[in-house]
Amino acid sequence: MARHEVESEVQGSVWKIEVETGDRVAEGDVLVVLESMKMEIPVESPVAGVVIEILVKREEAVDEKQILAVVEDG
């Protein structure tokens, strides 16, 4: 089983966290919603698997390329 680090594509803040550690997700499921420049940007799971870690909190500022969550495939 491989671990996949899910990164932010933009600088912004965490608007909503859609999953919890241990949740099973499908490829393309929204894990986190970021807010940047008054726009909501969904961050999707790159693979089907289980959410191992969520590394951010609601309203936290995030940088581009910051790791938001880790998903283990399988």
What pTM was estimated for this model as a whole?
0.94
pLDDT at residue number 49? 98
Domains of the chain: 3-73 (2.40.50.100)
* pLDDT at 70 > cutoff 90: yes
74 — pLDDT class (breaks 50, 70, 90): confident
Quickly list DSSP for 27-67: TT-EEEEEEETTEEEEEE-SSSEEEEEE---TT-EE-TT-E
pLDDT at residue number 1? 83
Task: Report helix, strand or coil for 23.
Answer: coil
pLDDT tens digits, one per residue of 26-54: 999 999 999 999 999 999 999 999 999 99
As a whole-number percent, the residues of the chain with pLDDT over 90 amount to 97
